[in-house]
Amino acid sequence: MRWDTVVELPEPADTEAYGEELGRELAAGDLVVLSGPLGAGKTALVRGLARGLKVAGPITSPTFVIAREHRPLPEGPGVPLVHVDAYRLGMVGSVADELDDLDLDTDLTEAVVAVEWGEGVAERLAESHVLVHLERRADDVREARAERVGVRA
Ligand SMILES: Nc1ncnc2c1ncn2[C@@H]1O[C@H](COP(=O)(O)OP(=O)(O)OP(=O)(O)O)[C@@H](O)[C@H]1O
Ligand SMILES: [Mg+2]
């Protein structure tokens, strides 16, 4: 995984491969925040995360459902993925509080949580997390940069 480096992602498949690479490095209790504008590729990246973590799909862009739980596949490390679309929720509070309110079946300390978030909001996060920032260039190539923010629990 190329941390703290801007990576060019020309095609959706490149974004998925990047997410897959990241997914292989994640462990239970990790929070991944995906920030970037509409259509930047946040959901495409989560699709790759699911592949790297080996959890069941499909990863979709939820319109009504704001959080989806993806169960581990037998061949994977056994960590479920919770995919939250806070972009549509307009979430402003702490991620932990908002997730509590969703009343999910999955114990979040035993899952990887990936949250799609709008621009600038991630900077206000107190919890330690992996921040992936995605940009869409004028030539349609995406640029991604992943960093670990704060101390890992
Ligand atoms: N390099 C690329 N990486 C990712 N998506 C790309 C790329 N090039 C083109 N696309 C297209 O851009 C769109 C990205 O959609 P996606 O739903 O992943 O973005 P998003 O950031 O989750 O958007 P939203 O803000 O609506 O949630 C898709 O239609 C995809 O095919
Ligand atoms: Mg999306």
Sketch out the chain's domains with CATH numbers: 7-149 (3.40.50.300)
Q: How many CB atoms lie within 10 A of CB 79?
A: 19
Render pLDDT for 79-107 as a digit per residue (tens, 0 to 9). Answer: 999 998 876 555 566 666 777 777 788 88
Per-residue model confidence (pLDDT) at position 44: 97
- Ligand 2: distance of its center to the CA of 42 in Å? 5
Which is higher by pLDDT, 60 or 123? 60
Closest CA to 108 of 131, 87, 88, 127: 127
Which is higher by pLDDT, 119 or 73? 73
Per-residue model confidence (pLDDT) at position 77: 95
Q: Which residues pair with 130 in a beta bridge?
A: 32, 148
141: number of CA atoms within 13 Å, CB side?
Answer: 7
What residues line ligand 1, using a CB cutoff of 6 Å?
9-12, 14-15, 36, 38-44, 61, 87, 116, 140, 142
Render pLDDT for 20-73 as a digit per residue (tens, 0 to 9). Answer: 999 999 999 999 999 998 899 999 999 999 999 999 989 987 655 578 899 999
Q: Does a cis peptide bond (omega within 30 degrees of 0) precede residue 58?
A: yes
Nearest CA to ligand 1 atom 31: 12
In the numeric block, the tokens 């702490």 are attached to: 94
- Ligand 2: distance of its center to the CA of 85 in Å? 7
Kindly state the average pLDDT of the residues 143-152: 86
- What is the best residue among 60, 117, 142 to mutate for testing ligand 1's pocket, by most ligand atoms within 8 Å of CB? 142
Q: Which ligand is nearest to the CA of 39?
A: 1
Per-residue model confidence (pLDDT) at position 70: 95
Report the C-alpha dihedral over residues 68, 18, 89, 67, rounded to 10 degrees. Answer: 10
Task: Indicate which atom in ligand 1 lies nearest the CA of residue 40.
Answer: 21
